[in-house]
Structure 1
């Protein structure tokens, strides 16, 4: 490993027409990204590939249209407005399959820009808050460039990177940009309370990010012997761990350990996971593998959606044609939970969006993608109740979903169902 004095110098080795992986989430290497931008005037047609990143994604601005192309494996809020499916594009893929895209060379990587904790006495850094697909990127890239930061937590698991596997590095001392606390509405809290009635003591939890998953976790503090095996976790899960409700004592896979592929959280979360042997981060192709997920007992997969149609099709990555997030790990865990003994795949949504649009709809809007198919659906929960779709026909599903839709939407949903499905 060669230590470079500043980011611009470290990134001066990047060349035109190359492919770069950028570490994501709380591990977004802001200093290296800034160094890349300083060298942008010398670069043409460089492809940047990443999951959601934090901070300003200036490289997506129009001023860099000749310099950078962006392939989003999951679309974060910082690039959402730039999506044009030409220069700023989206690659739909299960999170569990992304590491193989790197290792197989289907997505070739010339450089990997990563954010790591300082090396220990044996020379091992860690990938900190995000192992997910980053470990595969590091092992696949021709050149690895790291920013080493004492504020990056040292996290146990698959994320160890020896300094001999890092080609160039800069040393920084900067605060990690993490997830802020989310506001929980009365509707969110009601959904959380309803969801908690489905989750038994001894269950293994997977949860997404956002207000509703956090509201579910808030409602579980009186539960016992819960476990966590999840794509990611955040502030809400930390509260549940500290309350004693989560002890991972009944899991069959990594008993006693809180398992994830990445973590998005505030300073309290970062402090908790630092050198904590009860918390491990593993690669996404393992964590999100349904054959691994199903081995744990009573897996409850708790995920959200943009909209659900009356047959149970779930759109979770777009508003019509406009991609706003990604496939991620929803299907990995929905399937894994359904195969787990006593498992429950659960979609949690508000009955209406923040702008007042129905989220239970007669048909998905034009261009919307199906992330979770109707055949994979079990439970849907809104603030108005729980719909159990498993083993139900299409007409039975429609009636179940109409019951939990917003009261002002139910009459129209009934009408549209009969108009579109019941004609002779």
Structure 2
């Protein structure tokens, strides 16, 4: 029987979290803020334990908290970057799709799961609210499941619900979930978005990443018809196109009529739209990233980004100037599936340059990667910058170099060509 608390002040996490435990919670907007804040407040009383972090949307975790806590993550985005720079974040370099199986097998141990849920429906069922993804595996594996039932979290459709019988502790709260506010795309992002949008046919099913560029690409699709979505995450722009009747899922091969995603990563605009909306379905990573499910979607378009791409198509999506800032993520799963899909497009989109702290614009099309090969060149498909589209499929190394040079920033092409010849 779940222990039910009406006030967070009554929750003593040292009674549930043991020294040496690994604690996990929903990432980004799905973070149960009240519980994670309480966990950090009580870290000294608990003793040494570990937290597995996803991509953060809050500032709950900071480097100074490493006095009693160790941190592990699959990514270096957002606030995780500060942890990495401070030397207190360890990285698990795995494909995102592997996380549920790693948790289920115990290779990635999970002892305590913190979840954020909406109030139960009339049948006593809580939906998973803002994320399912690898959280389902964590809930099943954890020794203790502690829930923050927040009346400002949307009740979303999916294949998984929880009842009080699945929970060990319940705390009732009312506060806005963490948000990821969309940033305004610049001119270069808009030009990249225009090129990508021109490649996408009506009736295609899309997979999208997070950030200004994916949101700009989605916004450029307003004139399309009957698009579908099967993605690890969705943001506000997807809700905009669903409401406008552009994203209908009417031509999807699987999950027809439904936008399938692992997590909602946006603002209250997205949360309100998703509330009790059967057109949006949250699913486990084992469905959103399943290679057979993805490849079975006709006209599956995978749209991913990168930190840098070399002239042969090798992609670094993890490290920026020695700092772990990205992730292996799900790119290979999606790109390979799009390559197998009938009419599919494996796309990696990025601006040709990145502005450094010195004010210098560094080329993101490079002769040699400065970080690891996150996606090998054998899996490279279509690379897009603001200067055009380089379709590398079926192209030799010399042909690839010529095409990649053509989409590099003009200011950097002479140096790249010189390095190429050397």
TM-based fold match above 0.5: yes
Deviations 1:112-155 (A, max 9, x none): 01111111122211221111111110011000001000111111
Deviations 1:388-408 (A, max 9, x none): 101011111011000010001
- Scaled by the length of structure 2, what TM-score is found? 0.95
3-state secondary structure, aligned to 1:47 = strand
Between the aligned partners of 2:362 and 2:151, the Cα distance in structure 1 is 45
Contact 2:384 2:407 in 1 (8 A): yes
Equivalent residue, structure 2, for 1:236: 237
Alignment CA distance shift 1:88-1:296 (3 Å): same
Equivalent residue, structure 2, for 1:15: 18
Contact 1:232 1:263 in 2 (8 A): yes
Between the aligned partners of 1:416 and 1:75, the Cα distance in structure 2 is 30
Contact 1:206 1:231 in 2 (8 A): yes
- The partner residue of 1:363 within 363, 368, 376 is 368
3-state secondary structure, aligned to 2:30 = coil
Equivalent residue, structure 2, for 1:57: 60
3-state secondary structure, aligned to 2:346 = strand
Root mean square deviation of aligned Cα: 1.4
Equivalent residue, structure 2, for 1:342: 343
- Correspondence list, 1:92-107, <5 A: 92-107=93-108
3-state secondary structure, aligned to 1:294 = helix
Gaps in structure 2 of 5+ consecutive residues: none
Between the aligned partners of 2:86 and 2:110, the Cα distance in structure 1 is 21
- The partner residue of 1:392 within 386, 395, 406 is 395
Between the aligned partners of 2:92 and 2:8, the Cα distance in structure 1 is 28
**Structure 1 residue 249 corresponds to structure 2 residue 250:** yes
Between the aligned partners of 2:204 and 2:141, the Cα distance in structure 1 is 36
Q: Shift of residue 88 of structure 1? A: 1.5
Q: Shift of residue 213 of structure 1? A: 1.0
Between the aligned partners of 1:393 and 1:277, the Cα distance in structure 2 is 46
User: Matched residue pairs, number?
Assistant: 415
- Correspondence list, 1:378-389, <5 A: 378-389=381-392
Between the aligned partners of 2:287 and 2:314, the Cα distance in structure 1 is 27
Q: Shift of residue 181 of structure 1? A: 2.4
Between the aligned partners of 2:230 and 2:165, the Cα distance in structure 1 is 31
Equivalent residue, structure 1, for 2:334: 333
Equivalent residue, structure 2, for 1:411: 414
Contact 1:286 1:292 in 2 (8 A): yes
Q: Shift of residue 159 of structure 1? A: 3.6
Between the aligned partners of 2:318 and 2:159, the Cα distance in structure 1 is 28
Instruction: Give 4+ residue runs of structure 1 displaced > 6 Å after superposition.
Output: none
Equivalent residue, structure 2, for 1:422: none
- Scaled by the length of structure 1, what TM-score is found? 0.95
More off after superposition, 135-144 vs 175-184: 175-184
3-state secondary structure, aligned to 1:65 = helix
- Correspondence list, 1:8-407, <5 A: 9-13=11-15, 14-58=17-61, 60-62=62-64, 64-83=65-84, 87-355=88-356, 356-365=361-370, 368-407=371-410
Between the aligned partners of 1:110 and 1:348, the Cα distance in structure 2 is 38
Contact 2:32 2:114 in 1 (8 A): yes
Contact 1:125 1:162 in 2 (8 A): yes
